[in-house]
Chain A
Amino acid sequence: MATISIDGKNLEFEERLTILEAAKALRIKVPSLCHNEHLSPYGGCRICLVEAATRAVPKRSRLVPACSAPAEDGMLITTDSQRVQDSRRFIIELLLSRCPESQIIRDMAAQMGVDPDGRNLDVVGQYLLQRAPSQEATNCILCGLCVRVCQQIPERYALSLKERGIHRKVTPPFEKVAESCIGCGSCAYVCPTKTITIEEV
C-alpha cells in the first residue's frame, strides 16, 4: 500500500492514479482547465500545478501538473502554497491576456484574487492585463480538449492543432470542413470556455 499526503491529509492507494484523482478522493479542490477525466491527461494549461516534495526530502520541491503527474508513494503535495498561488496567478493572467472576454477565465481569475481588469496587480500582472499588445480576439485557450475528445471518443480526428508558438490554433484538417465530422457535439461539450458552438446545417 502506498501513501500520498496532500495538504496534510493522507491517502492510501494501490492502483495507479494521478495527483488530481488523489486530491479528489480527499475532497481537496485543485483547479483545472485542460483536464477531463474521460480523456488522456495533457498537462498543457498548467493551472493545476501543485508543489511536490517527498517524505524523504521534504525541503526540496518542484511544481508538477496534478492532472497528469502520477501519485507516488511518499509524496508530499501542497496545493495552496505561496509558490503554487503565484504560479497559478501567472497562468491565469496569461490566459486572461489572451482571452480577456472569456467569462469563465475572468471568474476563475477573480477566485484566485486576480482582478480581471488588471488593478492592484504586481508588475507582471499589470503588464499582461494593461500594457501587453492585444491578440486576435478569441476565447480559445488551446487546452486541446476538443482535439482529444474527437480523437478518443468518436475517433473521428476531425480537429487538430496547427502551427507553433503564439500562432497555434485549433482547426479541422487543411482548414476545410472535416468530412470525418459526424456533428456529435463532443468538442463543444468539453470546451471549458464554450468557444465551440454547434450549427444546424
Chain B
Amino acid sequence: MKLKPEDIRSIREKSASVSAIRRGEGAAEKKMDLLVCAGTGCVSNHSLKVKSSLIAEIEKHELQNRINVVTTGCNGFCANGPIVVVKPDDIFYQLLTPEDIPQLVEEHFLGGRPVERLMYRPGEGEAPIPKMASIPFFGKQQLIALANRGIVDPERIEEYIALGGYQALVKALTEMSREQVIEEIKTSGLRGRGGAGFPTGKKWEFCKNATVASAEGEAAKYIICNADEGDPGAFMDRSIVESDPYALLEGMLIGAYAIGATHGFIYIRAEYPLALERLTQALEQAREYGLLGEQILGTDFSFDITVSKGAGAFVCGEETSLIASLEGKLPEPRVRPPYPAQSGYMGKPTNINNVETWANVPHIINRGAEWFSSFGTDTSKGTKVFSLVGKVNNTGLVEVPMGITMREIVFEIGGGIPGGKKFKAVQTGGPSGGCIPESLLDTPVDYESLVQAGSIMGSGGMIVMDEDNCMVEVARYFISFTQQESCGKCTPCREGTWHMLNILEDISAGRGQEGDIELLEKMAQHIKETALCGLGNTAPNPVLTTIRYFRDEYEAHIRDKRCPAGVCKALITYSIDPVNCTGCTACAKNCPVACISGERKKTHVIDQDRCIKCGMCYSVCNFDAVRVE
C-alpha cells in the first residue's frame, strides 16, 4: 500500500490509544503495554527469554486481550537489564530473569500489586522507586533524538506512525519549500553530532547550491548517513538504529528533499547485526508504504536508500575515507578541499551526517527551530546522546541537554563511582578526545568548552575512570588503537603514532627517560599539525590531556619507576600482608601459575620470580591481604 499524506494522519488517529498508553495516558482503559527492552545489551542478558516467558504466563492467565507485550529498542539503563516497563503506569522492572515472571504476572497483572522486589533501588536497603520517570538516571535526561526509545517497536512502522512518525516528512513535502527546510535547520542551531560540530543547515545549503558539472544536471546528488561508529565504548548510533530506525530514515528523507538528492547511503558496521537487521526491515517496510522509492507520499519527490556494510576500519568514520570505501576503493582519506559538498561520492555533491544528526531532523521540523534551540547553550543547541561507560554505577545510554555539567552526568545520572572508589577522570571523544580531570568536572558539555579542556565532544562516548586507572596506560591504550587503525597513508600518523606508542610502552615498562614527557608533547604537536585527516590530527589528544592533567603519574613512572594506580605490570609487585592473611588458600587455588605457597590457616607467600602479575590473587582475596605496590 502506497501511503498518501492523509493516510499518515488516519493511521495515527486510528491508533490513538496505542500512543496514549505509551505516553502514560489512558490508565482508565485497564489496558497495559509491557515494553521489553531488546537492545543489544538486554538481549545479551537474555531479555528475549524474559519476553517469551511473559507471553507464556500472560496466555496461561488469559490476559492477552488486556496486556500487550512489545519489544522495543534500547531503554538506556543498560546496567540494569533485562528491563520491562509497564505502561501506562510507568512501572520499571529491572534485572529480570524468566523465573521472576510467574510472580510478576500473578501479583502485578492479576493482583494489581506491583512487585517491589524487582524494582530499582538507589542503594542497598533503600526504598524502591516504582516509576521510571522518578529514577534519577532518567530524571535529568532530555530526549529528542531518542524521543521514541523504549516506547516504539522498532520493527513495526505502524507504531512509529502512531507515535507521530512521518508527520515531519508530510509537513516538509507538502507545506515547506526546500529553502524553508534548510532555513529551519539553520535556525535551530543543530550542529553535527559526529563530533566536529559543523552547522548542519549550512552543510545542507552548500550541497544544495553545489553546481554539478555533469550531463545529469542537478539530479546527481547524494546523501550519506555515517553509522560507522568506531570509538571504543561508544554505542549511541547503534542504539538509535536499533531503537528507532524510522526516525533516521525520516531525517534522511527530509534532508534529501531539501538538498535535492535522489539517492542515499547508510554506511554501517557489519558487526552491528541487530541494527542491520532492524534497519533492513525498516527500509523494506518504508518501501512497501511508499515512503521510499518513486513519488513518495504521492508527491514529485523520489528517493531511495542503499545500506552499505563497513568491514570495521576506524578510518572509515572520516568522511572522505567513507566515500572511498563506498566507491569500492581503498578506504583512505583524501585532502580537503574539495569538500564532499562539492565533490563527494563518484565526484558528485554529497552531504554526510551521522546517525544522531539525522535523527534530530524530524523533531526540529515537527516542533520548530525555536523549540529545539530552547535547549542547550548559546553555541551548542539541543541535546547530545552519550554512552556512559566505565567506572560508573549506572552504565547506559543517556541524552542530555547541551550545557549540562560533567559532574551532573557522572554523579547524578550515572550515580557516581562503584565500590566507594575515588573519581579520577572522564574520557570524552574516544581516541580523538581527552581525559577531563576532577577539577574540571563542572565544565559544561558543549563543543567549545570541551575543546578548551583539551578534549572534544566527539560522537558521544564517555568513559569514566577511577583511582585504579593508570593514566599512562590509558594514553598508551588509545595511541595503540589509533596506530592500529591509522590507514598508513600519511607519514606523521603512520610513523609518528608508532613512535609515540613505543615511548609510552617504554614508560609503562619502567624504561622511561628524563625528558620523555617533553618528547611526547613535542611529537604530539607535530603530528596534530601535519597529519592528513582528523584521525591523525586528533590521535595525540589522549596523550596530551593525560600529560596536562596527570603529569605526576608520568613522572612517577619515569623517575620513581612506580605506577601509582598499580596497573603497569613491570612497575608493580603483589605481596601478601601477614597480618590480614587468614590462610584461606583462595589466592593459591586461583593463581594461574601456582606461585603462591602456604598451608591452610597460615600466611601465604608469593614467589616474586614466578609471579606474572595477573592480579588474580588481589581480586579473589576477601580479607584485603594482597598488597599492590
Contact = CB atoms under 8 A, between A and B. Distances in A.
B530 A49 contact: yes
B140 interface: no
B530 A97 contact: no
Interface in B470-500: 483-492, 494-499
B11 interface: no
A194 to B, nearest CB: 19
Given A44-B532, A94-B495, A124 B519 contact: yes
A166 B495 contact: yes
A141 B485 CA distance: 19
B330 A160 contact: yes
Interface in A79-104: 83, 86-87, 90-91, 94-95, 97-98
A124 B521 CA distance: 10
Contacts of B526: 86-87, 90, 124
B335 interface: yes
B501 to A, nearest CB: 9
Most chain B beta-carbon contacts within 10 A, residue among A65, A87, A90: A90
B324 interface: no
A201 interface: no
B115 interface: no
B497 A127 contact: no
A91 B492 CA distance: 7
A44 B490 contact: yes
Contacts of A68: 334-335
B496 A87 contact: no
A164 B529 CA distance: 21
A196 interface: no
Given A132-B499, A164-B488, A63 B330 contact: no
B530 A87 contact: yes
Identify whether the interface residues of B are mostly helix, strand, loop, or mixed: helix
A65 B486 CA distance: 19
A41 interface: yes
Interface string A158-174: 00110111111000000
Contacts of B490: 43-46
Nearest to B333: A43
A165 B431 CA distance: 15
Contacts of B498: 165-166
A160 B330 CA distance: 9
A67 to B, nearest CB: 8
B484 A164 contact: yes
Contacts, number: 107
B522 interface: yes
A95 B498 CA distance: 13
Contacts of B530: 46, 49, 63, 87, 90-91
Given A86-B526, A123-B518, A161 B337 contact: no
Contacts of B499: 94, 97, 127-128, 132
A87 B496 CA distance: 12
B495 A123 contact: no
A165 B335 contact: no
B571 interface: no
A40 to B, nearest CB: 9
B313 interface: yes
B217 interface: no
A141 B491 contact: yes
A138 to B, nearest CB: 12
B496 A94 contact: yes
A107 to B, nearest CB: 17
B338 interface: yes
Contacts of A167: 488
A47 B485 CA distance: 22
A90 B492 contact: yes
B488 A168 contact: yes
B206 to A, nearest CB: 15
B515 interface: yes
A43 B334 contact: yes
Contact of B488 (A46, A65, A87, A142): A142
Interface in B433-486: 483-486
A122 B522 contact: yes
B483 A165 contact: yes
A144 B489 contact: yes
A31 interface: no
Contact of B489 (A44, A122, A132): A44
Nearest to A131: B513
Interface string A60-81: 0001110011100000000000
B502 interface: yes
Nearest to B522: A124
A63 B527 CA distance: 12
A30 B607 CA distance: 62
Given A123-B518, A123-B522, A94 B492 contact: yes
Contact of B313 (A42, A94, A142, A164): A164
Contacts of B523: 90, 124, 127
A4 to B, nearest CB: 14
Contact of B335 (A69, A122, A142): A69
Nearest to B532: A43
Interface string A114-125: 000000001110
Contact of B491 (A63, A64, A95, A122): A95
A165 B485 contact: yes
Contacts of B503: 127
Contacts of B492: 46, 90-91, 94
Nearest to B513: A131
A96 to B, nearest CB: 10
Nearest to A67: B335
B515 A165 contact: no
B381 to A, nearest CB: 26
Given A90-B526, A164-B313, A165-B487, 11 more contacts: A42-B489, A64-B335, A65-B532, A91-B492, A132-B499, A141-B491, A144-B489, A164-B484, A165-B498, A166-B488, A166-B498
Interface of B: 313, 315, 330, 334-335, 337-338, 483-492, 494-499, 502-503, 515, 518-519, 522-523, 526, 529-532
30 contacts: A42-B489, A44-B491, A45-B490, A46-B491, A46-B532, A64-B335, A69-B337, A70-B338, A87-B526, A90-B526, A91-B492, A94-B492, A95-B495, A97-B499, A98-B495, A123-B518, A123-B522, A124-B519, A127-B519, A132-B499, A142-B489, A142-B494, A144-B489, A161-B330, A161-B488, A164-B313, A164-B315, A165-B484, A165-B488, A166-B494
